[in-house]
Amino acid sequence: MFNKIIWGTIGGTLWGTLLCAALAGLFIGINKNLSTIVSALFMGILWCIIISMIWKSLMGRKDESSKNYIIAGIIGGFFLGSVIGGLMLAILNRDANFGKAYILGAFLGGFFGFIWSLFKPPMFLGGVRIWGKSGAILGAIWGSFFGTIIGIVTTVSLLFWSSANIDISPNNLPKLLIATLIFGGGNGAIGGIISGIIFGGLIMAPPLPLALELIGIRGAIVGAIWGSFLMAIAFGIIGGILSITIGDDLFLNLGISGQVTLLRGVIIGTGIGSIWGIISGTFWGSFGRW
């Protein structure tokens, strides 16, 4: 268990750093020099596809399809190109936000890897629905995932429908979207967890779509559902603690304006955790990392 926690934390830190650096690279490239980031993406994807095909010729089976290797090369090249292109632009423009993305990604990823390595998805197999205590747990897990998705879609839709009263200029739109996604995901996840506990405990909940091999598409689905629940709970607690100890100074950087109360801190933490859990859980679950 100790080795699993160590390697999970290290792997999560690397994953989080890479993902946030890639997102920061895309953001810097779109705002500073679009042609540079597009060129970096093109070269990264090209080289990663070539490396993937070389790897297939050396290590793969002769009858194995090249499709998965090409897809892996495209995904890897997208990340690599975003990171390298963004880093070049950040250095040339002396943009410190790229370094902040590294730090944020390392923290989020390391914490995800630590929590992920401590728990396994509950093995509620079978085609029948489950109620009582087990149904309440399953309902909370399902509710966190669907609540996050519904909350994000609803809040973003309301944002653009009420655009007449909100400043959605290009300079304000990124922070506004971040705040909207966080609040929408947080409120949706909390509402979904509460509703899932009630309905799952009293009416029954469906089992998780588990298979004998938690890998590929099924692994990604279970990872997204399970990761959303785990990280929503963990980051909801952390958000509540930070709202009391640090308060507004931290959350202002996320586009959250106004006084941060305990309830807002829990909602913000839950939103960040549920969204991060879906993204990271999908990635790790697809590779069978349980």
Nearest C-alpha neighbor of 196 from the set 137, 134, 123: 137
Asked which of 53-62, 79-88, 171-180 is least confident by mean pLDDT, the reply is 171-180
Residue 161 domain flag: yes
| Rounded Cα gap, residues 169 and 176, in angstroms | 10
Q: What contacts 210, CB < 8 A, 6 or more positions away? A: 121, 123, 124, 125, 218, 222
Residues 168 and 265 in one domain: yes
My answer on whether 114 and 139 are in the same domain is: no
Indicate whether 72 belongs to any domain.
yes
- Domain encompassing residue 172: 132-286
pLDDT in tens, 194-208: 988 888 888 788 777
Last residue of a domain, one of 70, 92, 118: 118
Do 100 and 151 lie in one domain? The reply is no
Q: Is the pLDDT of residue 101 over 70?
A: yes
Tell me, rounded to whole angstroms, the distance of Cα 27 from its chain centroid. 17
Task: Note whether 83 and 140 are same-domain residues.
Answer: no
- Domain co-membership, 109 together with 176: no
DSSP 56-79: HHHHS-TT--SHHHHHHHHHHHHH
Indicate whether 103 belongs to any domain: yes
Which helix (H) or strand (E) segment is 98 a member of? helix 97-118
Report the mean per-residue pLDDT for the chain: 81
Question: Domain ends where: 84, 118, 152?
Answer: 118
User: Are 168 and 280 members of one domain?
Assistant: yes
pTM of the predicted model as reported, rounded to 2 decimal places: 0.76
- Is 124 inside a domain boundary? no
- Determine, yes or no, domain membership for 12: yes
Q: Is 3 exposed, middle or buried (0-12, 13-18, 19+ CB in 10 A)?
A: exposed
Position 252 in a domain: yes
Q: Is the same domain home to 153 and 207? A: yes
| 139, 195: one domain | yes
User: Which residue pairs, CB below 8 angstroms and at least 24 apart, start in 211-215?
Assistant: 213/288, 214/121, 214/285, 214/288, 214/290, 215/286, 215/287, 215/288
State the pLDDT confidence band at 5, using cuts at 50, 70 and 90.
Answer: confident
Domain boundary, last residue among 118, 151, 177 = 118
Q: How confident is the model at residue 258 (pLDDT cuts 50, 70, 90)?
A: low
125 falls within a domain: no
Same domain (yes/no): 15, 76: yes
pLDDT of residue 126: 52
Mean pLDDT score, 145-164: 81
- Report which secondary-structure segment, H or E, holds 194: helix 173-202
pLDDT number for residue 249:
59
Q: Which residues contact 143 (CB under 8 A, 6 or more apart)?
A: 189, 191, 192, 193, 194, 195, 196, 197, 199, 200
The reply to whether 93 and 143 lie within a common domain is: no
Site of tokens 């009293």: 202
Assess whether pLDDT exceeds 70 at residue 165: no
Counting the structural domains of the chain, the total is: 2
| 113 and 7 belong to one structural domain | yes
Is 123 a member of any domain? no
Q: Are residues 237 and 178 in the same domain?
A: yes
